[in-house]
Amino acid sequence: MKYIQKGAEPAAFADWKARANEDWQPSYGALSGPPKQALKQALMAEQGVICCYCERRLSWNDSHIEHFRPQHDQAVDPLDFGNLLCSCQSQVKKGEPRHCGSLKDQWFDQRLLISPLKPDCEERFRFTGDGEIKPARETDEAARTTITRLGLDIPKLNALRAKVIEPFLAEELSVVELRAFVSGYLELDASGCYGEFWTTIRYLFANGAAP
């Protein structure tokens, strides 16, 4: 789970909300067209086009706008940009395991769900060379619950992480080459994308990336 620094909400979304009047009030259910597209594009961009939870690459057609605190909570403003993220999986195909926002659904527990909006979220998990994710501390109940509730340890995601890890383990890479490889991977590319499973690579190889 990579820390997400929230930016300003997109102008098209803000302008749409500002049209509120006595006869019409904006609601998430009414959000559509260019304002919703601008919102989703902004969320994807500030996340470096990786899922807010598992860090898989986001695609427009297989992702959704995610309310970190569920909309059904009456204390939540469904249009609060600060509570909005972009998660992978829009409509889960038959036979495909649910994970991330799709699996989380309406569940929320402030004590047990680690937020990607908290700067320390990256330090709450550790990774193994074969792609598994575990709590950084065995006593961290929130990290363990978050992994389970979001399905971050399902075989599908473990296998995808292992596939990303594999090139970094190549024996022919020198220390200098590995350092450059890791450093480049952890930076935004020319398209504004972070590498998939960013925190996995950082955890396993960041020492090799240090100058």
Q: How far apart are CA 151 and CA 199, in angstroms?
A: 17
Burial class (CB in 10 A: 0-12, 13-18, 19+), 211: exposed
Does the structure show a pLDDT above 50 at 107? yes
Averaged pLDDT, 86-113: 92
β-strand partners of 63:
88
Average pLDDT, the chain: 95
Does the structure show a pLDDT above 60 at 209? no
- CA angle (137, 154, 99) in 5-degree steps: 100
Percentage of the chain modeled with pLDDT above 90: 91
Residues written for the chain: 211
39-97 pLDDT per residue, tens: 999 999 999 999 999 999 999 999 999 999 999 888 999 999 999 999 999 877 788 89
**pLDDT (0 to 100) of residue 207:** 62
| Residue the block writes with tokens 């402030």 | 110
Q: Give the confidence band of 210 by pLDDT, cuts at 50, 70, 90.
A: very low
**In the chain, what are the domain boundaries?**
11-209
From first CA to last CA, the distance across the chain in angstroms is 25
143-184 pLDDT per residue, tens: 999 999 999 999 999 999 999 999 999 999 999 999 999 999
The dihedral through the CA atoms of 201, 203, 204, 208 has a sign that is positive
Amino acid code (one letter) for 126: R
Averaged pLDDT, 13-37: 96
Does the structure show a pLDDT above 70 at 34? yes
Whole-Å CA distances, 166 to 70, 75, 129, 209: 36, 44, 8, 16
Question: 3-state class of 191 per DSSP?
Answer: coil
